[in-house]
A and B are shown apart, each in its own frame.
Chain A
């Protein structure tokens, strides 16, 4: 009787292995998708910060022109430094710094010498994936 019994042990083990493998793939897929979404959200926040920096730069430029047009070049906007005819400032929004340099020309207009954003690097505190071997 025992010989005639249908044995599903080997098939069950095979299917169990397949299910476990597919489950691992499923978990990896979800983790990757979540990481993609998180990266996208971080990128979106970074672009928002860039646009806020640009807007703050535009407001500073407007204040500079207001000072120039009113003839009060001694009362410059806060955070502005002057070096002869060069006016510069640094505007920080979160971890983005916008550096602006203006040059006052002889025709009493500002020429933009520099308008650039850079990001302050911050250590993320993530796991270390490689350690430099000691020599």
Chain B
């Protein structure tokens, strides 16, 4: 009687212990893999955000370099006169604040006949992603 019960216990242990170890290892492995995929997704999102920020800043810089006028730059980027902050979605279209993913801050300063335009892009969490500044000289031509 006793020996049969022991036999049953041994059978139960021989079945459950490897299975439990296997399940445990599988769960740990899966957790590690999920965290690796999550970190890859985070890095990828960072890269996309930074790339978008660079594109927005570069567009603004190119326009400003050609006209040396902040209001004209704002207009060409799709904003309204007087705006110093423009909002862009993930497709880099100028949109309303409620639909925005990125905010472009524009500023220009004139010093010693050099106009200096500064552009910085941040995300909605106010984290600055990229910034750029460029100087433009506009000669005063006497007529």
User: What is the interface of chain A, defined by CB distance below 8 A to chain B?
Assistant: 1, 4-6, 8, 12, 15, 19, 22-23, 26-27, 29-30, 32-34, 36-37, 39-41, 43-44, 47-48, 51, 54-55, 58-59, 61-62, 65, 109-110
Interface: B83 (CB within 8 A): no
Q: Assuming the A-B contacts A12-B22, A26-B36, A59-B114, are A37 and B46 also in contact, with contact meaning beta carbons closer than 8 angstroms in the complex?
A: yes
Distance in angstroms from A76 CB to nearest chain B CB is 16
Q: Is the CB of A47 within 8 A of B44?
A: no
| Segment 1-58 of B: residues with Cβ below 8 Å from A | 7, 11, 14-15, 18-19, 22, 26, 29-30, 33, 36-37, 39-41, 43-44, 46-48, 50-51, 54, 57-58
Q: Is the CB of A26 within 8 A of B33?
A: yes
Please name the residue on chain B nearest to A51 by beta carbon: B134
Contacts of B36 in A (CB 8 A): 23, 26-27, 29-30
Interface: B89 (CB within 8 A): no
Contacts of B11 in A (CB 8 A): 1, 4-5
Complexed CA–CA distance, A29 and B37 (Å): 7
Task: Please give the number of chain B residues whose Cβ is less than 8 angstroms from any Cβ of chain A in the complex.
Answer: 41
Contacts of B112 in A (CB 8 A): 62
30 A–B contacts from the bound complex (CB under 8 Å): A1-B11, A5-B11, A5-B14, A8-B18, A8-B19, A15-B26, A23-B29, A23-B33, A23-B36, A26-B33, A29-B36, A30-B43, A32-B40, A32-B44, A36-B43, A37-B47, A37-B50, A39-B47, A43-B54, A47-B58, A51-B133, A55-B116, A55-B135, A58-B134, A58-B135, A58-B137, A59-B137, A62-B113, A65-B139, A110-B139
Q: A15-B22, A19-B30 are in contact. List 17 more A-B contacts (CB 8 A).
A: A6-B19, A8-B18, A26-B37, A29-B37, A30-B40, A37-B46, A39-B47, A40-B47, A40-B50, A44-B54, A47-B58, A54-B135, A55-B133, A58-B114, A58-B135, A62-B113, A62-B137
Interface centre among A15, A51, A59, A61 (most CB of B within 10 A): A51
Distance in angstroms from A36 CB to nearest chain B CB is 4
Contacts of A34 in B (CB 8 A): 43
**Candidates B40, B61, B133; contact of A33 at CB < 8 Å:** B40
Q: Is the CB of A48 within 8 A of B40?
A: no
Contacts of B29 in A (CB 8 A): 19, 23
Interface: B65 (CB within 8 A): yes
Distance in angstroms from A39 CB to nearest chain B CB is 8
Q: Is the CB of B134 within 8 A of A55?
A: yes
Complexed CA–CA distance, A52 and B58 (Å): 13
